[in-house]
Structure 1
Amino acid sequence: MAEPAQRPPASAEGEAIAVSPVEKAAVEAVAPMPVPSPASDFFREPEALDPDEQGDLAAEHFDRMVNASIARLTQGVSPASLNRAYSDWAINLACSPGKQVELWQYAWRKAVRFGFYAAHSLAGHQTADLIAPEKGDKRFDDEAWTKPPYNLLVQSFLLTQRWWEKATTDVRGVSRHHEAVTSFTTRQLLDFWAPSNFLTTNPVLQKTTLEQGATNLLHGLENFAEDVEHRMTGKKPSRSRQYRPGREVAVTPGRVVYRNRLIELIQYAPQTDRVRPEPILIVPAWIMKYYILDLSPEKSLIRYLTEQGFTVFAISWKNPDSEDRHLGMRDYLDLGLNAALDAVGAICGADAKTHALGYCLGGTLLSIGAAAMARDGDERLKTVTLLAAQTDFTEPGELSLFIDSSQLAFLKDMMWQQGYLDTKQMSGAFQMLRPNDLIYSRLLHEYFFGVRADKNDLMAWNDDATRMPATMHAEYLEQLFHENLLARGQYRVGDRPIALTDIDVPIFAVGTQKDHVAPWKSVYKIHLLVDVDVTFLLTSGGHNSGIVTPVGHPRRIYQVATAHDGQHYKDPDRWQRETPVHKGSWWPEWAAWLVERSGACGMPPRLGNTEAGFPPLEPAPGTYVHRP
């Protein structure tokens, strides 16, 4: 049983704040960490420095101010990083005459074929297209695009796009990273000039404008003005306000039972007369609000778990501001995961081991915490579940295009000035991974067709983004994303490195087929990093939609198989070919897995434990979820 925590006086708002033993120790500690992190000099102050060091620091601050100003214009993309990638490509292409001849020949052949195609098409003859859009590209699906001159615009655009794809790939001598950056960036530039994006070249938009007497353009102008207002004032769009935490979403009943400067811990009320003795602790990503797992009641994973007879706790992260710039990964581990486990143990009993679930970044944090706990002999965990969470970052998908030494320095300077990474900067990076779907298509429909897409609860949640403290995000990007220290066994917690092979509890890992943030084959690498039974489940959908898959979803499928410790490794492609496909939601599969590893049902614990220093405070969803 955890020792009772000291209760401080009420805050200025009249709310008592619980302090766990872990937080108390963190607050009382005054000695620096034995091994400083790479971001520990992020906010060096000039005091106690000699004149030469003060001059060096002033020069460094000036450089950071310049880079931060540039970052505002480039949306956080480093010009030096782009220049290095294109220089590598251009120099190696200049030294590859064979590749140049190949490109000239390809361009000549396609130009001749396009000439014949254009002549036949303008003469009114039916002619097979020279090139088809890629699978999933719906920009030119309307029949109007098949008639001249618009079909010529489409074919010319697609041929140009294909030529540049050949030109920026398979150039001998170009590094894989620079090739990926060059190809990706060139593709984004070309997509901007797609004929579907402009009134003068989009026949569908022209037809709509004529039929509606240009009122669609007026509605689009109103939408644009509304978006500018929201961006300048920081207010949520009215459509997002239809889904308010505690009213339309995040309505599963419960109470906040613990709060510190970084988290609120919510304990949910039981929905059954008897519950499993092992509680579930949910560690969500801090990049978005926690209620992704507690949306509308019919889409709430938290509600589903309580209905299955589990006691559920969830961490609600505070939305940090500039005053939290010094919070690092160690703080998120101590004041987040460890503090929450203290509270769960005090409420449910020290003998009740915890099923821990981590989602996205929360899953990475959970894997770090689980490895550290195993190293130190802490046996509070019963199982570990990782949802779309990476532990090996060698193949993290297209997000890696934004990460190299130059880009990291640029991001650090931007965060150094703000004290955090802003929500708009994060969402912009994610949108650039799928610009046709997330940027151009939306702008076209809202500003030219004048039609607002109806918001649902998931889309409204997506608008409710959070910031990330500068120190924590810099450490995460550098130590995990860039240097991959966790997978290499070199990530340090305290004064010693941790190894994922130390984890000694079963793992349930979930990947999603269309994940652009944590590609499922990257998530699958957990098989290579641990020495325990791993049950891996692959579900259809994306990073969020695949996880939020309620029972009864009509279009979801999944595959699941368990790799027992000691069995031979299956690569992900072979695993996908050989594993049976099931229809429906993956939630019941996971719930059954938890039941197999849980004890017999008994009486549910009470909400909170006042005697141990964890009294029930506000009703769920608490106060942190409402902070802008």
Structure 2
Amino acid sequence: MSDTARPAAVAQWSEAMQRAGAAMLSLAKSPPTPAASRPWDPAPILQSMLGAMADWASRPQDLFKLQTQAMGEWADFWAATFRGQGAEQPIARGDRRFTDPQWAEDPAYRTLRDAYLLASRQLRQLNDQTAGEGPGKTMLNFLVESYLNAVAPSNFPLTNPEAARRTVETGGANLVAGFANLLEDAASGRGIVRRRTDPDAFKKGETIAATPGSVVFQNRLFQLIQYDPTTPDVAAEPMLYVPPLVNRYYMIDLKPKASMVRWLVEQGRTVFVISWVNPGEAQRDADVSAYVTEGVIEALGAVERATGRTGTDLFGFCLGGTLIAIALAYLAAKGEAERANSATLIGSMVDFGDMRDWSAFVHEAHLDALDEHTAKRGYIHADELQQLFSAVRANDLIWSSVVNHYLLDRPAPPSDLLYWFEDGARIPAAFLKSYNRELLYNNRLREPAAFKVVDVPIDLGAIRTPILSIALKDDHVSAWDAVYRGARLFGGDVTFLLGGSGHNAGVINPPAANKHGFWRNPDMPESADEWLAGAEKLPGSWWPTWNEWLGAHGSAERVPAREVGEGALPAIEPAPGSYALADQ
């Protein structure tokens, strides 16, 4: 360290030690208390591991063959390394752990990286050849990936080149400050690795979720927001957005340049949005049926009263789209299908036969443990849901934060999408039980009349409402081919689009950004692969194509812009409303 850098390092050390001391005192005063119960059961995890061990013990010849192959690969690797030729291993597309130039330029770091990648490939190969299918095998896959993510050399200060440089530059103050960050997160009682983005960078209603509008209706489950028009006339058909329960509604109303709500209003659409309540003890009995009838159907009725018009364009994301599909079947069974003019389902599943990594959690023992856990207080906490989502995307949502926050002491950058992601919400116990058991575990939506809303049988094949199903190519929550298979269950006119990017980022793709691209194919062949093979890839955002589809399935009638409160529903309070502003 140079003499000029020494005073700065001393100041960093002093600040870091003060923060660490304060964090220790805070943690000592209010240590985190262990949970009385877990929302998962450790038994299936142990069973999957023991099952893998028993399988390989019963096939020693196959295990010996893999071991021999692995020994040969390691011999080739080290021979090439010692000759100075290197033995570079392929890095997965989008793997940001090894982007620092030293991983490629420094022989020691390059060898460490490639040895890790080779070992990872071999362990995955061993796992792939382990006998068995179903949740047990999926759980084993999850355990293997979790282990490989955790032991990556990028996660440790001595084997991460950027962390090593930072430690030299600060004289180790970054590690002391990172330890203080760890203690502060532990003292918060909400778990570690919380600060993925700057929590003070945005303020709801001012810099995010700030499109002008008002709450015009509310009940125990939701508030309904109507947005102010910006055009002199609007499409006759109003729009109603149904969000998922796990996060607040405003993923579609981030900062203005990324706001889908603002963009739709500017296209001359009357936009209404459901803002779900953050449920507590009072909503513990609200199951899937309640969220369909008291939620989607009641919101639809409020839109009809506010606009004086029947025939609403519904759109929803993820679980919100699943609720819309159930609501459409409910309306069809009740002879009220005309109340929905069209429906757009974005990243939404109705056939849960293939849930990929999520199948590891759809296990009867886990569901029993979750039921017992949520029965104590009537809901599952947002932090527990965040931990589940983070575990499935550990490199992006856990280990990158470990590196940035605990090793580098790097301030969390402002991100409107991550701010929304971390603003989670609780889910009632009754909803989780009915959704997990009936839809995820038993996949009852796939079979006509196997699932009921109150006493009304749900048949997706009876839906004749025009549907636009939009999947995302790199979606880790709703795999795009699974979304496609579900779209084929609807009985009416179905159009399928495939957007680029992932579950969240692929949705928030304003035309001005000109990112990601999308695929379009007017046909609906039996398999998703056939659909993609015949699809045309187009550049930019799918939003304008969606707007064209809405126009093609509308009346083409224009009416004077609808001012909030001019209809049967007066304004209650400004958007985003008290439900969205409530704490977790």
Which one of 554, 574, 580 corresponds to residue 598 of structure 1? Answer: 554
What does the per-residue CA deviation read over 1:139-168, in whole Å, with 9 as the maximum and x for residues that have no partner? Answer: 234343354543443333223222221222
Looking at structure 2, the residues matched to 316 and 382 of structure 1 have their Cα atoms a distance apart, in angstroms, of 22
Q: 2:348 aligns to what SS in structure 1?
A: coil
Residues 148/299 of structure 1: CA separation in 2 closer, same or farther (3 Å cut): closer
What does residue 264 of structure 1 align with?
223
Stretch moving more, 430-439 or 371-380: 430-439
What does residue 622 of structure 1 align with?
577
What does residue 315 of structure 2 align with?
357
Equivalences, count: 544
2:420 is aligned with 1:453? no
Looking at structure 2, the residues matched to 233 and 180 of structure 1 have their Cα atoms a distance apart, in angstroms, of 26
Looking at structure 2, the residues matched to 276 and 136 of structure 1 have their Cα atoms a distance apart, in angstroms, of 41
What does the per-residue CA deviation read over 1:394-446, in whole Å, with 9 as the maximum and x for residues that have no partner? Answer: 11231121111111111111111232111111111111122122211111111
Which one of 528, 550, 559 corresponds to residue 519 of structure 2? Answer: 559
Looking at structure 2, the residues matched to 102 and 130 of structure 1 have their Cα atoms a distance apart, in angstroms, of 24
Residue 179 of structure 1 and its aligned partner are, at CA, apart by 2.0
What does residue 72 of structure 2 align with?
109
Which one of 488, 491, 494 corresponds to residue 451 of structure 2? Answer: 491
Identity %: 33
Which one of 555, 576, 589 corresponds to residue 545 of structure 2? Answer: 589
2:152 is aligned with 1:194? yes
What does residue 532 of structure 2 align with?
576
2:278 is aligned with 1:319? yes
Looking at structure 1, the residues matched to 528 and 574 of structure 2 have their Cα atoms a distance apart, in angstroms, of 43
Matched AA of 2:574: P
Q: Is the 8 A contact 1:240 1:463 kept in 2?
A: no
Which one of 203, 212, 218 corresponds to residue 253 of structure 1? Answer: 212
Looking at structure 1, the residues matched to 392 and 103 of structure 2 have their Cα atoms a distance apart, in angstroms, of 26
2:299 is aligned with 1:340? yes
Looking at structure 2, the residues matched to 131 and 372 of structure 1 have their Cα atoms a distance apart, in angstroms, of 53
What does residue 16 of structure 1 align with?
none
Q: How does 1:145-160 map to 2 (within 5 A)?
A: 145-146=103-104, 147-160=106-119
What does residue 4 of structure 1 align with?
none
What does residue 500 of structure 2 align with?
540
Q: How does 1:54-453 map to 2 (within 5 A)?
A: 69-71=36-38, 76-118=39-81, 120=82, 125-129=83-87, 131-146=89-104, 147-172=106-131, 174-231=132-189, 239-350=198-309, 352-378=310-336, 379-453=338-412
Q: Is the 8 A contact 2:466 2:553 kept in 1?
A: no
Looking at structure 2, the residues matched to 554 and 231 of structure 1 have their Cα atoms a distance apart, in angstroms, of 41
Q: CA RMSD in A?
A: 2.2
Q: Is the 8 A contact 1:219 1:451 kept in 2?
A: no
Q: 2:341 aligns to what SS in structure 1?
A: strand
Looking at structure 2, the residues matched to 374 and 68 of structure 1 have their Cα atoms a distance apart, in angstroms, of 44
Q: Is the 8 A contact 2:464 2:492 kept in 1?
A: yes
Residue 315 of structure 1 and its aligned partner are, at CA, apart by 0.5
Per the normalisation by structure 1, the TM-score is 0.82
Residues 211/292 of structure 1: CA separation in 2 closer, same or farther (3 Å cut): same
Residues 272/411 of structure 1: CA separation in 2 closer, same or farther (3 Å cut): same
What does the per-residue CA deviation read over 1:562-612, in whole Å, with 9 as the maximum and x for residues that have no partner? Answer: 34xxxx6242122222211111111111111111222210123342467x5
Residues 162/571 of structure 1: CA separation in 2 closer, same or farther (3 Å cut): same
Looking at structure 2, the residues matched to 282 and 616 of structure 1 have their Cα atoms a distance apart, in angstroms, of 18
Q: Is the 8 A contact 2:471 2:499 kept in 1?
A: yes
Per the normalisation by structure 2, the TM-score is 0.88
Q: 2:296 aligns to what SS in structure 1?
A: helix
What does residue 482 of structure 2 align with?
522
Looking at structure 2, the residues matched to 626 and 135 of structure 1 have their Cα atoms a distance apart, in angstroms, of 38
Q: 1:486 aligns to what SS in structure 2?
A: helix
Q: Is the 8 A contact 2:469 2:487 kept in 1?
A: no
Matched AA of 1:358: G
Looking at structure 1, the residues matched to 277 and 539 of structure 2 have their Cα atoms a distance apart, in angstroms, of 37
Q: Is the 8 A contact 1:346 1:609 kept in 2?
A: no
Looking at structure 2, the residues matched to 105 and 526 of structure 1 have their Cα atoms a distance apart, in angstroms, of 44
Looking at structure 1, the residues matched to 477 and 578 of structure 2 have their Cα atoms a distance apart, in angstroms, of 28
What does the per-residue CA deviation read over 1:525-568, in whole Å, with 9 as the maximum and x for residues that have no partner? Answer: 133201222111111121111111112113220112334xxxx6
What does residue 482 of structure 1 align with?
441
Looking at structure 2, the residues matched to 183 and 361 of structure 1 have their Cα atoms a distance apart, in angstroms, of 25
Matched AA of 1:145: W
Q: Is the 8 A contact 2:288 2:434 kept in 1?
A: yes
Matched AA of 1:287: V
Segments of 5+ residues of structure 1 without an aligned counterpart are 1-66
Q: Is the 8 A contact 1:68 1:410 kept in 2?
A: no
Q: Is the 8 A contact 1:99 1:171 kept in 2?
A: no
Q: Is the 8 A contact 2:518 2:541 kept in 1?
A: yes
Looking at structure 2, the residues matched to 269 and 151 of structure 1 have their Cα atoms a distance apart, in angstroms, of 56
Looking at structure 2, the residues matched to 213 and 197 of structure 1 have their Cα atoms a distance apart, in angstroms, of 19
Looking at structure 1, the residues matched to 201 and 216 of structure 2 have their Cα atoms a distance apart, in angstroms, of 28
2:517 is aligned with 1:550? no
Q: Is the 8 A contact 1:558 1:582 kept in 2?
A: yes
Residue 291 of structure 1 and its aligned partner are, at CA, apart by 0.8
What does residue 12 of structure 2 align with?
none
Q: Is the 8 A contact 1:68 1:413 kept in 2?
A: no
Looking at structure 1, the residues matched to 259 and 359 of structure 2 have their Cα atoms a distance apart, in angstroms, of 31
What does the per-residue CA deviation read over 1:240-272, in whole Å, with 9 as the maximum and x for residues that have no partner? Answer: 232122111112111111111111011111111
Residue 290 of structure 1 and its aligned partner are, at CA, apart by 0.5
Residues 583/278 of structure 1: CA separation in 2 closer, same or farther (3 Å cut): same
Looking at structure 1, the residues matched to 378 and 35 of structure 2 have their Cα atoms a distance apart, in angstroms, of 11
Q: 2:391 aligns to what SS in structure 1?
A: helix
Residues 259/70 of structure 1: CA separation in 2 closer, same or farther (3 Å cut): closer
Q: Is the 8 A contact 2:138 2:356 kept in 1?
A: no
What does residue 8 of structure 1 align with?
none
Q: Is the 8 A contact 1:216 1:448 kept in 2?
A: yes
Looking at structure 2, the residues matched to 523 and 609 of structure 1 have their Cα atoms a distance apart, in angstroms, of 39
Residue 176 of structure 1 and its aligned partner are, at CA, apart by 3.6
What does residue 31 of structure 2 align with?
none
Looking at structure 1, the residues matched to 325 and 151 of structure 2 have their Cα atoms a distance apart, in angstroms, of 43
Q: Is the 8 A contact 2:135 2:362 kept in 1?
A: no
Q: Is the 8 A contact 1:534 1:562 kept in 2?
A: no
